[in-house]
């Protein structure tokens, strides 16, 4: 059996090798924790000239959704082409390769089709980078005259981080201390772009691309992964200086949804573990403005790096034969609904930026925005489609290449996301440990837990709510339905349902499920039919 698989893959790679030279290169740009807040997405604040230019030449997706609003599950889903419930990665602790030893990832598959694949920066989550199977080579690791990047430019910030780490290690048990000792949430360093990771990784990606360009018989797939605007919000000062602090506005809707699920929102854990952020209570307007400023500075910093990468493609004469796909793994609440962080089932956390440029994009599509509902899981089959290689049968997404040809065509009837109980999970979505309850998170958790108990009445069951409660979100053209149920029992009745009407309430400020029982019934039927029933019909 093994022998025949090897033979098939050998034949495939030979065939791939024969035609591979004609296939397009792929520049796959991942942005961490980036909500769709660029100029081209209608932001009046964000300064993002390079992404705006790319969008003016390519196709911008106005309604793209991640499958889970946290790093590892979102990325595992994208890269394996399977949904979180299929691949079993619903928190940041499970390595997708351990849970799915034989899965074939996007870059792994492209290698079998004659591609050279490499990444600089964050494509998978942290150490789960599948080096052996997904990547055919290492990126350039030495850049003459350039030092390795640092987390902070200011000495005092490094000292604060080291001190807080040591204090957390002394104070808390090992299972609770992870991520608790941190430096400041933001910094404006008077440094070059490559002093911090994203600038450094961009230089590595460019140097690697130039090396690979010397061998035109092999197309390449470069994953360029930016760590900003993930916390900490650190960017060179010149990007902070692009903004007038007085002009920075705060989230328009800072209240939890009326009649919403008490478990739907968390207590902003990810931000509160940072130095200088209150451990309880509101994030005041002055701090909120600074944090928004920091996030915007990171946005512009990343935008500039994307500009450098695209310029380098042009200078190498490769732009006209390279697909560019820019995406983020999930959105982020910047005070929206009263919380800071990702990790919810709402529009703010699940909607992501997605911009595509392809060499053969028709003139009629260039610069267009599409409102087609697409999912990040669709990127794997789309890239296969655009590269002219077959689409593996295990994929649960759908190629959106037809949308690139005709951006206003009818497409999926729903996009699906999920997140386990945001209020009662640790901030990396792992079930709560007793140790974490003994940290400053304890009172915050208790507060939200009491509200859940009150809302749920006799449906409350600690074990179920802490370990097995999943929120499943379905976004249709008009509505967002969030179904809260026991994910270990697919036939279980929902424990709570939220319904938001985007035509009347784009901020998702009111859950109208109780007021619209007939509509809920109809949408539940659609939800139960699942993603397979939401696939686009052939327009002919």
Contact set with Ca ion (CB under 5 A): 32-33, 71, 329
| Pairing, β 220-226 against β 116-121 | parallel
H-helix segments, 251-378:
269-272, 285-315, 347-350
How far apart (Å, rounded) are the C-alpha atoms in residues 267 and 445?
8
Q: What is the CA radius of gyration of the chain?
A: 23
Nearest residue (CB) to Ca ion, 72 versus 511? 72
Neighbouring CB atoms inside 10 A of 366's CB total 14
Nearest residue (CB) to Ca ion, 71 versus 212? 71
Determine whether 71 is an active site residue: yes
Q: How far is the CB of 30 from Ca ion (least distance, A)?
A: 9
Q: How far is the CB of 100 from Ca ion (least distance, A)?
A: 20
Q: Is 281 exposed, middle or buried (0-12, 13-18, 19+ CB in 10 A)?
A: exposed
Q: Out of 71, 119, 194, 330, pick the active-site residue.
A: 71
CB environment 514-531: b (16+ within 10 A), e (fewer)? eeeeebbeebbebbeeeb
Q: How far is the CB of 122 from Ca ion (least distance, A)?
A: 8
DSSP 8-state secondary structure symbol assigned to residue 487: T
How far apart (Å, rounded) are the C-alpha atoms in residues 98 and 260?
36
Q: How far is the CB of 123 from Ca ion (least distance, A)?
A: 12
Q: Out of 119, 125, 266, 293, pick the active-site residue.
A: 125
- Hey, what long-range contacts does 393-401 have (CB within 8 A, 24 or more apart)? 394/81, 394/82, 394/103, 394/104, 395/81, 395/82, 396/81, 396/82, 396/83, 396/86, 396/531, 397/81, 398/535, 398/536, 400/61, 400/372, 400/374
How far apart (Å, rounded) are the C-alpha atoms in residues 479 and 472?
13
Question: How big is the chain, counted in residues?
Answer: 540
Instruction: List, in sequence order, every residue forming a beta bridge with 184; answer none if it has no partner.
Output: 275
Q: List C-alpha distances in Å: 73 to 32, 314, 377.
A: 13, 34, 11
Q: How far is the CB of 230 from Ca ion (least distance, A)?
A: 6
Nearest residue (CB) to Ca ion, 329 versus 347? 329
Residue facing Ca ion at closest CB distance: 71
Q: How far is the CB of 225 from Ca ion (least distance, A)?
A: 10
Encoding tokens for residue 432? 């709560």
Q: How far is the CB of 356 from Ca ion (least distance, A)?
A: 20
Please state the separation of Cα 481 from the chain's center in Å: 21
Of the candidates 293, 271, 288, 290, which has an alpha carbon nearest to the alpha carbon of residue 280? Answer: 271
Q: How far is the CB of 228 from Ca ion (least distance, A)?
A: 11
CB 205 within 8 A of CB 120: yes
Nearest residue (CB) to Ca ion, 71 versus 206? 71
Nearest residue (CB) to Ca ion, 125 versus 204? 125
Q: How far is the CB of 70 from Ca ion (least distance, A)?
A: 7
Q: How far is the CB of 344 from Ca ion (least distance, A)?
A: 13
| Stretch (H or E) spanning 31 | strand 25-31
| Pairing, β 25-31 against β 220-226 | parallel
Q: Coil, strand, or helix at residue 2?
A: helix
How far apart (Å, rounded) are the C-alpha atoms in residues 256 and 260?
7
Determine whether 253 is an active site residue: no
Q: Is 10 exposed, middle or buried (0-12, 13-18, 19+ CB in 10 A)?
A: exposed
Q: List C-alpha distances in Å: 356 to 1, 383, 406, 427.
A: 39, 10, 13, 31
Nearest residue (CB) to Ca ion, 25 versus 182? 182
CB 426 within 8 A of CB 432: yes
The residues that are catalytic are: 71, 125
């Amino acid at each position: 059996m093994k022998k025949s698989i090897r033979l098939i893959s050998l034949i495939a790679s030979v065939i791939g090798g024969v035609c591979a030279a004609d296939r397009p290169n792929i520049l796959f740009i991942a942005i961490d924790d980036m909500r769709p807040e660029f100029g081209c997405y209608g932001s009046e604040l964000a300064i993002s000239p390079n992404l705006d230019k790319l969008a003016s030449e390519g196709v911008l997706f106005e309604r793209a959704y991640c499958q889970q609003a946290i790093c590892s599950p979102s990325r595992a889903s994208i890269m394996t082409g399977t949904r979180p419930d299929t691949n079993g990665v619903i928190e940041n602790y499970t390595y997708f390769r351990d849970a799915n030893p034989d899965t074939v990832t996007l870059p792994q598959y492209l290698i079998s089709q004659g591609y050279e694949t490499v990444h600089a920066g964050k494509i998978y989550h942290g150490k789960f980078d599948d080096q052996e199977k997904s990547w055919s080579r290492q990126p350039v690791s030495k850049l003459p005259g350039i030092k390795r990047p640092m987390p902070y430019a200011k000495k005092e910030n490094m000292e604060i981080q080291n001190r807080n780490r040591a204090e957390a290690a002394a104070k808390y048990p090992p299972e609770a201390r992870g991520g608790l000792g941190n430096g400041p949430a933001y910094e404006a360093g008077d440094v070059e772009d490559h002093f911090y990771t994203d600038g450094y990784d961009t230089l590595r990606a460019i140097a690697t691309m130039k090396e690979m360009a010397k061998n035109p018989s092999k197309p390449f797939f470069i994953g360029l992964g930016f760590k900003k605007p993930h916390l900490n919000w650190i960017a060179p000062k010149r990007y902070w200086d692009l903004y007038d602090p007085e002009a920075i506005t705060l989230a328009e809707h800072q209240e939890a949804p009326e009649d919403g699920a008490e478990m739907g929102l968390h207590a902003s854990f990810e931000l509160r573990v940072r130095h200088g952020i209150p451990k309880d209570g509101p994030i005041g307007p002055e701090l909120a403005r600074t944090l928004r400023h920091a996030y915007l500075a990171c946005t512009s910093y990343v935008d500039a790096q994307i500009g450098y990468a695209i310029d380098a493609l042009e200078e190498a004469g490769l732009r006209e034969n390279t697909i560019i796909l820019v995406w983020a793994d999930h959105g982020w609440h910047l005070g929206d609904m009263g919380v800071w962080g990702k990790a919810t089932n709402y529009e703010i956390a699940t909607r992501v930026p997605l911009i595509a440029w392809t060499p053969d994009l028709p003139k009629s599509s260039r610069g267009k925005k599409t409102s087609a509902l697409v999912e990040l899981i669709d990127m794997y089959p789309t890239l296969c489609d655009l590269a002219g290689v077959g689409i593996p049968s295990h994929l649960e997404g759908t190629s959106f290449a037809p949308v690139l040809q005709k951006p206003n065509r009818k497409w999926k009837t729903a996009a699906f996301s999920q997140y386990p109980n945001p209020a009662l999970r640790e901030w990396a979505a792992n079930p709560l440990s007793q140790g974490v309850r003994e940290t400053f998170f304890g009172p915050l958790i208790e507060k939200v837990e009491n509200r859940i108990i009150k809302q749920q009445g006799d449906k409350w069951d600690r074990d179920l709510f802490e370990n097995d409660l999943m929120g499943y979100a379905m976004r249709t053209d008009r509505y967002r339905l969030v179904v809260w149920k026991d994910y270990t029992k697919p036939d279980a009745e929902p424990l709570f349902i939220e319904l938001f009407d985007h035509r009347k309430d784009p901020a998702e400020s009111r859950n109208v499920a109780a007021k619209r029982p007939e509509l809920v019934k109809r949408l539940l039927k659609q939800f139960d039919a699942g993603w397979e029933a939401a696939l686009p019909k052939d327009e002919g």
